Amino acid sequence: MAKETFSIPNISCGHCVMSIKNELNELEGVKTVEGDPGNKSITVEFESPATLEKIRDTLKEMNYPAA
- The pLDDT value recorded for residue 5 is 97
Q: What is the pLDDT of residue 14?
A: 94
The string over 18-32, giving b where at least 16 C-beta atoms fall within 10 Å of a residue's C-beta and e elsewhere, is ebbbebbeebeebee
Domain around 53 = 2-61
CATH number, residue 16: 3.30.70.100
Number of domains in the chain: 1
pTM listed for this prediction = 0.93
Residue 66 lies in a domain: no
Per-residue pLDDT at 15: 95
Q: Is 63 left (phi over 0), alpha (psi -120 to 50) or beta?
A: left
Q: Which residues of the chain have pLDDT under 50?
A: none
- Tell me whether residue 67 is in a domain: no
Q: With respect to residue 11, please indicate whether it lies within any of the assigned structural domains.
A: yes
Cα→Cα distances 42→28, 37, 66, Å: 18, 8, 9
Q: What is residue 39's predicted lDDT score, i.e. its pLDDT?
A: 95
